C-alpha cells in the first residue's frame, strides 16, 4: 500500500496533566503517515484522485489548538480517530505526537508517543 508522510505539523495547545499546561499551553509537533491507494492519481495527475494533505494538516492543527485533555495519550488517539473519520481514502494512519519541551525538571529532551490505527 502507498503512503503519504507529513512531518513537522506544529501547533500550540492546552493538553497536559499539570494545571499550568492547561492554562499556559505549549507547542506540540505531529508527524503522520497515511496509507492509501495513490495509483489513480499517479495516472491522472488530479488532486481529487488522492488525498489533499492540506486537509490533514488543518485537521491536526485544529485538534491540537481546540482539544483540552489531561493526557497526550488522549490527544494522539483523538487525532488518529479524526483522520480516519474525515479522510475516506485513508485505510491506516500512524501518528507520532511530540512534546518538545516537557515540563520535567532537569530534562531537556522531548516526549513522543506513536499510535497506528486501521479502518475497521
Rounded Cα–Cα distance for residues 107 and 102 (Å): 8
Rounded Cα–Cα distance for residues 30 and 7 (Å): 7
Mean pLDDT of 51-60: 96
117 as an active site residue: the answer is no
Quick one: pLDDT at residue 38? Answer: 96
Report CA-CA distances (Å) from 7 to 10, 33, 62, 68.
Answer: 9, 8, 16, 22
Is the pLDDT score of 102 beyond 80?
A: no
Choice among 33, 43, 61, 99 that is catalytic: 99
Mean pLDDT of 8-23: 93
Mean pLDDT of 27-50: 96
Q: What's the pLDDT band for 61 if we cut at 50, 70, 90?
A: very high
Architecture of domain 2-118: 2-Layer Sandwich (3.30)
Is the pLDDT score of 2 beyond 90?
A: yes
Amino acid at each position: 500500500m502507498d503512503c503519504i508522510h507529513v512531518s513537522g505539523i506544529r501547533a500550540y495547545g492546552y493538553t497536559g496533566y499539570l494545571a499550568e499546561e492547561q492554562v499556559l499551553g505549549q507547542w506540540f509537533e505531529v508527524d503522520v503517515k497515511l496509507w492509501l491507494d495513490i495509483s489513480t492519481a499517479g495516472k491522472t495527475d488530479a488532486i481529487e484522485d488522492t488525498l489533499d494533505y492540506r486537509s490533514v494538516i488543518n485537521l491536526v492543527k485544529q485538534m491540537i489548538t481546540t482539544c483540552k485533555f489531561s493526557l497526550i495519550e488522549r490527544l494522539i488517539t483523538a487525532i488518529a480517530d479524526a483522520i480516519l473519520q474525515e479522510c475516506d481514502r485513508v485505510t491506516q494512519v500512524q501518528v507520532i505526537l511530540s512534546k518538545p519541551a516537557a515540563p520535567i525538571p532537569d530534562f531537556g529532551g522531548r516526549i513522543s508517543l506513536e499510535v497506528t490505527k486501521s479502518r475497521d
